[in-house]
Amino acid sequence: MIAQLGSVAAGRMDIAQLVVSAAAAGERTAVTVAPPVAERDHRYPLRGRDQLVEELLHLCAGRSDGRMHVLHGISGSGKTAIALELVHRLSRTGPRRVWWVDARHAATFVAGMRVVARHTGLDEDDVGEAAADALWERLNASTRPWLLIVDNAEDLTVLDGPGRLAAGTGWLRPHACADGMVVVATRYGVARWWGGAAVLHPVGPLPPDDAAQVLLDHADSHAGTVQAAKALGRRLGGLPLALSMAGSYLAEVNTMPEALRDAGMPLDFATYHQVLNTRGSSLNPARVIAHAWQMSIELLHQMGFAHAGRLLTVLAAFGEAPIPYTLLLRPAQVSAVLPGLGDLDGTTLWRTLRELAALGLMDPLDVSATNGGLPCVRLHPLIRDIARAETSTAVTLIEQALRLDEVRLPPEDPKSWSAWAALTPHALDLLQHAGEGLPQLSVSQRTVCADAAELAARYLQTQGLFVQARRGFERVLDIRCEVLGPDHVETVTTRHNLASILHDLGALHDAEPLRLQVWNSLDRIYGAEHHDTLIARHELGRLLHDLGRLDGAEDHLRCVYQARLRNGGQRDSSTLAARHELARVLHDRGDLEAARQEYHALLTIRLEQFGEDHPSTATTRHNHACVLHDLGLLQLAHDECRRVLASRTGLYGFCHPKTLATAHLLATVLQALSRSTEALQLLQQVCDSARQLLGADHPQTRRYTHALAAFTRGIAGEEE
């Protein structure tokens, strides 16, 4: 059974959970900024950190210095435990707002900080704008005590946000609130990375007395004397994680019937110490964890969990992100492809995972937005380093996962987003093992890595994470060229996807030669009317349209449309897509009534085929709203914009390029309807979100910024 953690009362602290985004149409997911108070087990008091905790408590008592307080140390040193202890003690001192934000992944961190911003009093509509500036303005002016804890800050670039952490312009900043406090837990303790507004608190090994007490807390006095515990504590390097694992091991062994114990199995601190010495003399914490890990695995084997060691090794083949075991460890697939697990079934897998968690070898994670709402586990980084399997294990399991029904759906399909939210970090992690000069993987394995990473990059593209998607496509293209050659059809497909993301990034002139190259290559490989060739030509026409070359765009799109009619008929999705792009050409040529009729006809079909909350329906309705605005049918345009904004916010969240485009259109319509206050607020939100998401130099950001400036000048002129 998984050991149940004790819980502590939250006191009068404000903790909350808030829905901030949608993983798919009609499905809401949650990000919580509540402190994980149940992870503080009252049976095991925090040892050896009283001075540091008291220092932090002193600063929280209306004496804040306005600086970030950074707890830094190696993994397993107890940084999170210190933060939890601080939260617990503050819960008994009076009302205080406490927020706990996890910084392991950029998207979840930003979502969490936006929740914090909302809790400070910002309106829901304001959270999508430059939330960092607005948040710190609120926190600086707060009259209520508050504590912001940022845990697992292992990628400091995530904390930069709209500015730079070290300059005090990132998500975390110095503040002017005497009752406010910022605490960060991280591995990184280099002062220049944090800037002058940070106070660094090293979290090092525990002194021998405290280390011994941790062992006694977990194993109790039956495991030996205080002196023996001190000796073992020194041998374990004073690392809290190593100490708790060793103590838990001894507690478990001492509850086993004697008849089930192996000869030589350590029962107390002294014999445990001897076992460690016989298996190696290094005091490196990772090596210490390795010994404790191995003995825990042997214990599980003796308890009948024969697959425990192999499963932990399999889990260690993946990266640091939460591991979606229901996708990557399907028993039928695992037993078929991995040696030593041929008799693994679902019940055995589940029970073994629970026992691994009970001994602290892995952590089961609650379902959250971070992992796509799928059950996941996470290994401690040191245990992963020790147990790391060959990369080929991860490649094999990723390959099996790609065959699952929920993963085989295109990453552009909202039904696949939960799966790809969880798989994407692991798919991209494999790229570092598949590049040139890394011969440990075969050609077929490197191809699997490229396939998975390309799908992951396509998922990132659908989520509006264009910069990350571009990096993924570029790395995949390098591997394709090396493994398959520059003219192979899979290489051409990746080049097509790279051109697509360049288009999305506004790098239209960089995308054009790639579009031409892809079209010519596919025409040569497949012929002019092959489905893939027509897709390439369609995208070339769409690019030319956005470059303002309407004649060339119409020529390509007209040819595609006629071919699609011949091959698929009028209601085929590809035919409708080409017809939609031709309607855009009509629109931009100024033939507004003809464009309106086309959009209306297409919208009717899209609604019949997909329903309201589908990406294709939303795109068609957005363009229909555009032409209604241009025709002066403002109330109709307003109503259409509201529908699209609701659909796109449900699909993608507000801070997504497509949602921002619709919000900008709505602001334009509101302005035309003389609803200036609403228009200005919405346009400001669009500009701030675009700068944050796309960057200040993206064409769409510049467009929104210019619109805001012109609108502001117009209002100023009216006031004069």
The DSSP code sequence of 322-375 is: -B-HHHH--HHHHHHHSTT-TT--HHHHHHHHHHHHHTTSSEEE---GGGTT--
195: left (phi over 0), alpha (psi -120 to 50) or beta: left
Q: What does the pLDDT read at residue 277?
A: 64
Band of residue 290 on the pLDDT scale cut at 50, 70, 90: low
Q: How many CB atoms lie within 10 A of CB 604?
A: 11
Beta strands at 198-202 and 68-72: parallel, antiparallel or unpaired: parallel
Percentage of residues in the chain having pLDDT higher than 70: 89
Instruction: Reduce the DSSP state of residue 24 to 3 states and report it.
Output: strand
- The C-alpha atoms of residue 522 and residue 539 are separated, in whole angstroms, by 13
Q: What does the pLDDT read at residue 104?
A: 86
Q: Which of 196-205, 311-320, 332-341, 666-675 has the highest mean pLDDT?
A: 666-675
Q: What does the pLDDT read at residue 387?
A: 74
CB of 616 closer than 8 Å to CB of 578? no
Q: What does the pLDDT read at residue 382?
A: 60
Q: What does the pLDDT read at residue 389?
A: 64
Residue 33's closest CA among 120, 85, 130, 98? 98
At 473-525, the pLDDT tens digits run: 999 999 999 999 999 999 999 999 999 999 999 999 999 999 999 999 999 99
- CATH fit for domain 590-719, picks 2.120.10.30, 1.25.40.10, 3.40.250.10, 3.10.20.30: 1.25.40.10
Band of residue 571 on the pLDDT scale cut at 50, 70, 90: very high
Q: Which residues pair with residue 377 across a beta bridge?
A: 323, 364
Q: How many CB atoms lie within 10 A of CB 616?
A: 18
Q: What does the pLDDT read at residue 188?
A: 78
The count of C-alpha atoms lying within 13 angstroms of the C-alpha of 613, restricted to the half-sphere facing its C-beta, is: 16
Instruction: Reduce the DSSP state of residue 380 to 3 states and report it.
Output: coil
CB of 513 closer than 8 Å to CB of 503? no
Band of residue 7 on the pLDDT scale cut at 50, 70, 90: very low
Q: What does the pLDDT read at residue 718?
A: 54
More confident residue, 150 or 692: 150
- 584 Cβ contact list (under 8 Å, min separation 6): 545, 595, 623
The residue-averaged pLDDT of 270-282 equals 67
What tokens does 659 get? Answer: 């949602």
Residue 451 has pLDDT above 90, yes or no: yes
Type and span of the H or E element at 312:
helix 308-315
Q: What does the pLDDT read at residue 281?
A: 37
At 123-153, the pLDDT tens digits run: 866 666 678 899 999 999 998 999 999 999 8
The residue-averaged pLDDT of 462-469 equals 92
Cα–Cα distance list, 536 to 532, 540, 619 (Å): 6, 6, 20
- 547 exposed, middle or buried (CB, 10 Å; 0-12, 13-18, 19+)? middle
Q: How many CB atoms lie within 10 A of CB 630?
A: 14
- 720 exposed, middle or buried (CB, 10 Å; 0-12, 13-18, 19+)? exposed
- 459 Cβ contact list (under 8 Å, min separation 6): 411, 416, 417, 420, 421, 424
Band of residue 381 on the pLDDT scale cut at 50, 70, 90: low
- 651 Cβ contact list (under 8 Å, min separation 6): 22, 24, 25, 414, 613, 615, 618
Q: Which residues pair with residue 99 across a beta bridge?
A: 148
What tokens does 301 get? Answer: 């084997």
What tokens does 509 get? Answer: 């002139």
Beta strands at 363-365 and 376-378: parallel, antiparallel or unpaired: antiparallel
- The C-alpha atoms of residue 183 and residue 147 are separated, in whole angstroms, by 8
What tokens does 350 get? Answer: 């589940």
Q: What does the pLDDT read at residue 77?
A: 84
Q: What does the pLDDT read at residue 8?
A: 28
Percentage of residues in the chain having pLDDT higher than 90: 58
Band of residue 601 on the pLDDT scale cut at 50, 70, 90: very high
Residue 28 has pLDDT above 50, yes or no: no
Residue 640 has pLDDT above 70, yes or no: yes
- The C-alpha atoms of residue 200 and residue 563 are separated, in whole angstroms, by 66
Residue 627 has pLDDT above 90, yes or no: yes
Band of residue 370 on the pLDDT scale cut at 50, 70, 90: low
Residue 180's closest CA among 111, 116, 128? 116
Looking at the domain covering 13-202, what would its CATH class be?
Answer: alpha beta
The residue-averaged pLDDT of 393-407 equals 92
pTM for the whole thing?
Answer: 0.65
- The C-alpha atoms of residue 30 and residue 50 are separated, in whole angstroms, by 34
Q: What does the pLDDT read at residue 256?
A: 78
Instruction: Reduce the DSSP state of residue 172 to 3 states and report it.
Output: coil
- 80 Cβ contact list (under 8 Å, min separation 6): 39, 151, 152, 185
The mean pLDDT value of the chain amounts to 86
Residue 649 has pLDDT above 90, yes or no: yes
Q: Do you know the residue count of the chain?
A: 720
CB of 188 closer than 8 Å to CB of 233? no
What tokens does 561 get? Answer: 């449309």
Token look-up 């919405």 returns 682
User: What letters, b where the CB count within 10 A reaches 16 and e where it falls short, cover 338-362?
Assistant: beebeebeeebbeebbebbbbbbbb
- The C-alpha atoms of residue 181 and residue 438 are separated, in whole angstroms, by 46
E strands within 337-473? 363-365, 376-378
Measure CA of the first residue to CA of the last residue in the chain; give whole Å.
73
Band of residue 407 on the pLDDT scale cut at 50, 70, 90: very high
Band of residue 706 on the pLDDT scale cut at 50, 70, 90: very high
Q: What does the pLDDT read at residue 6?
A: 29
The residue-averaged pLDDT of 641-658 equals 94
Band of residue 272 on the pLDDT scale cut at 50, 70, 90: confident
At 196-205, the pLDDT tens digits run: 889 999 888 8
